[in-house]
Structure 1
Amino acid sequence: MDGQRLTTSPIERTDLTSVIDAAPYDRVTVLGMGSWGTALAMVAASAGREVRLWGRRAELAEAITETRVNADYLPDVPLHDNIAAYSDLADALAGTEAVLIVTPSRTLRDLCANIRPHLPDGVPLALCCKGIERGSGYLLSHVVEEELPGHPVGALSGPTFARETALGHPTAATVAFRFSYNDHLRPSESPAARLAVTMSSAAFRPYMSDDPVGVEIGGAVKNVIAIACGMMTGAGFAENTRAALITRGIDEMKFLAEKLGGRRETVTGLSGAGDLTLTCSSTTSRNMSLGVQLGKGIPRQSCFDGKPVVVEGEVNAVSVVDLARRARVSMPICEAVHAVLYEGADLEQTFSDLWARPIESEPRTLDIALTHPANSRDT
């Protein structure tokens, strides 16, 4: 074609949406040296960015520097040359242009206080951890906005197993930030656009969103639903049951997101339905794995061979149910998981009761409920 690039192809958009250019963030800091933090560092580095990967443990940072492998979390993934490991926050954040936060949700508020003195003005912060703060009921973005005012706060989430992402398997995710008036006028300068371009590569494909609330709700609730799917799988039930839990779990996500100002359609995207489907499909997910073990009757203290494995859905079960109760949103699957984990409820009876609840309508706009023949009680 005489050196000219074709403007369309069978897989390019042909509607009226304009294609614009956005400038990437060249220097990115990833806070969290676990498997997902390391995978995201690999994504950014593979996209050509200078990446600083921070973790609390100095010995792990030193080992990564020497061996170019994170042996504790992704031992079979050689790290990109663009990644440098740090255990000092000041060094990791000096001159950074964007920050990805990948530490456990329960430590987020303390982390914000620790990074405050070292964070350059106005740097966007993307939450790559998932959950709701226990006690306050805050979404994680609200925690960051409260602790670090003056910074755009968003989320990066999607159906992403860390190892597959780090190895460069084709992966898609959502990058979500609220759009200001100026962002709508100049979308190429918005944090969502710039971070999406920053992380884009031949293998990693981000999609932009202006609904971080919907993205965060999807990320927090899916962990709890995954435990439910695991419980039923471990108890001997099959694919029909899992498909029902996934579908009705999406419904629970939708109503909580909508109640808190998010959009239902966000929950049907990558960060909701996509992430939920992946997490509920494999014991590679710690949430699914925990549920399977509990469903088989293994005591919680003996799960994962007795190792102290952090399972986000176990933490989220408390905060999600608490938030749903405050918001007066019915989330029976999450309530069932909470009952088994924290109220001493019998697993088989709890899920039997879940199935015997009054027969509801789909969609809920058909406001009818019928007593289920398997249960004469109107629960």
Structure 2
Amino acid sequence: MTDNLFQTFALNETITLQNRILMAPLTRCMADEELVPTQAMADYYARRAEAGLIISEAVIIRPDGQGYPNTPGLFSSAQIDGWRVVTDAVHQGGGKIFAQLWHTGRVAHPHFFKKTGSTDVLAPSAVGVEGSVPRMRELSYQVPKAVTHEDIAQLVADYSQAASNAIDAGFDGVEIHGANGYLLDQFLHHDSNHRQDEYGQTPENMARFALEVVDAVAQRIGNERTALRVSPGAYFNMASDERDRAVFDYLLPQLELRNLAFLHIGIFDDAMKFDYLGGSASAYVRSVYNKTLVGVGSYSAESGSSAIAQDKFDLLAIGRPFIANPDYVSRVREGKELVEYSDEMLANLV
């Protein structure tokens, strides 16, 4: 039984979702060479407008945040106009859509922003990751520059501006990407944050940047339109450290005070267990955060519905099955068989 997935859900007095099924953010690398969304992208999102909420693919807040080819931006007028075509299409289909705001931090690459004249990759500390850029294996990661206080202030301002641009582009709100080993997440984990100043060492300091970004965005567009994704369990482009638990023990109650639209777990498979969290990422967050929580990570409609019934989280985000099934919501509601996802589907927007 999945009936609870088809209940309406009020995020707050401003936004009510038509059901509890969210389309998770799915990087597709299908923007044009100027990182402008295309008509094919508008059609792709419109076909999925039956979701209670679409969270867009991650959207770059500024040029030096890019770490993958053809990922869309939200910092130029052309990009804003391109996204407006997307949001109009989703709204015409009766849906709602949030923009996921993104800076990749130390997994950015200067190849993508060389036109700006900068070669600096930014991160909390000058600690790099091994490997190369997905889809462009000839590009190896470089050791990043540790951001200065001036850099941090500018980044906070740029997240705020990107949020304002998102509202101008017709989005219903934004989800700040603070998960999966990207810039905000890099401040929250000891593996990537070796700072000795007020942005490092202690839980309060390591959470400072994330909270500054959240506060700046909420002040700009309203807390009811601001959400955040977090990865308390280090698992992607990040080594785990038991000291990370204390950072999130501090951060999550601080976020609860801010009455965000929702908090979204960043995890590929929520069956993963983390010793220092005492279990799964979602179970840990639920134990210390009492506001609206989005679960994700290889759930089916059935297992996700069961988790909601057990109060493990409030909303279910579905990823790859939404690539394979544009009509995912209808198929689940009607008990129809789902098309199985395969990597070949990434080649086209359908």
Which one scores higher on RCO, CA 8 angstroms, separation ≥ 6? 2
Question: Considering only CA atoms, is the larger Rg found in Structure 1 or Structure 2?
Answer: 1
TM-score (norm 2): 0.33
